[in-house]
Amino acid sequence: MKVLLGIGGEDGALDRAIEEAARIGDDLTVAVVDSPEGDAATEELERYVRDLVASVGVGAQIRRVPGHGGSRLVEMAEQEGFDRLVLDGGARSPLGKVEIDEIAEFVLLNSRTSVTIVR
Amino acid sequence: MSPGRERPYPDEPAERFERPPISFTDADGRPVELYAYEGRREGTDSRDRSPPSGPSPESDGAFAPEDAFAALVAMYVDFDPADRAQGIPPPGEERIREWLDRILGGGQDVIAVVDGRAVGHATLVPDGKGAAELAIFVLHTHQGAGIGSRLIAALLGQGQQEGVERVWLTVERWNGVAIALYHKVGFETCGTDSFEIEMSIRLS
């Protein structure tokens, strides 16, 4: 299965999301979308993701995907024939409330590709 | 909330709220006590509590810390799954204990007690950015009797007493009852662009 893992921040449980995405599919692409904190943060995030993918030990193509995160992921999944879109859903508030960010909301509401939120 | 955005707060501080201990009778005629949670002391026997430090006779009736933790666990085990919000309280006693261990003691907590049982809990948890996140839970058997409004006001009073200046919360868009309660006590909506509505209040 061809899987697209979308990453726009490192608040959640990225290592688990990478492991789960690799478990679901045998052909994994990791898309690093623009961080809301700016270009420097996005570059930092991409470095972090590259290191993390290497340390988790899964094979994946890692791509930077500029623009509106949610819509770019939905578009990319459809145009390139991905079977599943995977997002990290591990972010929690100080109180422990689950946080659904703008990327996840957009993808859930607009994606025609099935979506997996990793907890 | 988007990480790049500062959360807005009302310019004017809220009223002064009464802080616990508070006793009242709810709309269904039940006597309710509101206590501040004073921390969990492992190994302390509830029957062997220290004498009250101040002259106030009310503090003698305070819920012992050991009782309070166990009472909160029992309340959340009984919690109606339909009343869960954004993943809390978590399901199952073990996860409930882990969650309570993480949030209790770091901020302010107020417990509503009826007949020796916890029926409500309101909490302020520091967010690491100088403000605190608020949540409130009332057991389904005791909802609709005015306990929530008294409980949240008492928690904000406790927060004022402890020097908390800014408080925020998130609430699901469809939860009109909760949103009305937060408005009534002085919260203002500060964000509607994320999955949940965000509200905030300035305490001082």
> Per-residue pLDDT for B54 more than 60?
no
Using pLDDT thresholds of 50, 70 and 90, give the confidence band for residue B53.
very low
CB contact under 8 A, A95 and B195: no
Taken in order of first residue, the domains within chain B and their CATH numbers are 22-43+60-162 (3.40.630.30)
A14-24 vs A39-56: helix axis angle to the nearest 10? Answer: 60
Residues from chain A that touch B5, judged by Cβ atoms under 8 A, are 36
Shortest distance, CA A102 to any CA of chain B (angstroms) = 6
B102 touching A (Cβ < 8 Å): yes
Tell me the residue type at B56: S
User: Which position has the token pair 């026997």?
Assistant: B45
| Lowest mean per-residue pLDDT among A31-40, B45-54, B113-122, B186-195 | B45-54
B129 to chain A: nearest residue by CA?
A: A94
Spatial neighbors of B154 by CB under 8 A, at least 6 apart, are B17, B18, B19, B20, B22, B34, B110, B122
Q: Does B99 touch chain A (CB under 8 A)?
A: yes
User: Are A37 and A51 in contact, with CB atoms under 8 Å apart?
Assistant: no
Is B130 in contact with B9 (CB distance < 8 Å)?
no
Q: Closest to B3 (Cβ–Cβ): which among A36, A93, A94? A: A36
Domains of chain A, first to last:
2-89 (3.40.50.620)
Give the C-alpha separation, B108 to B126, whole Å. 9
Residue pair B123/B77 in contact by the 8 Å Cβ criterion: no
- Span B69-79, pLDDT tens digits: 999 999 999 99
Residue B138 pLDDT level (bands cut at 50, 70, 90): very high
pLDDT for residue B44 is more than 50: no
ipTM of model over 0.90: no
Instruction: Tell if the CB–CB gap between B88 and A94 is shorter than 8 Å.
Output: no
Q: What is the mean pLDDT of chain B?
A: 87
For residue B59, the 8-state DSSP code is G
For residues A75-87, give the mean pLDDT.
97
Q: Residues of B with CB below 8 A from A105's CB?
A: 194-195
Name chain B contacts of A13, Cβ cutoff 8 Å: none
pLDDT exceeds 50 at position B51: no
Whether the predicted pLDDT of B48 surpasses 80: no
Rounded to the nearest angstrom, the minimum Cα separation between A58 and chain B is: 29
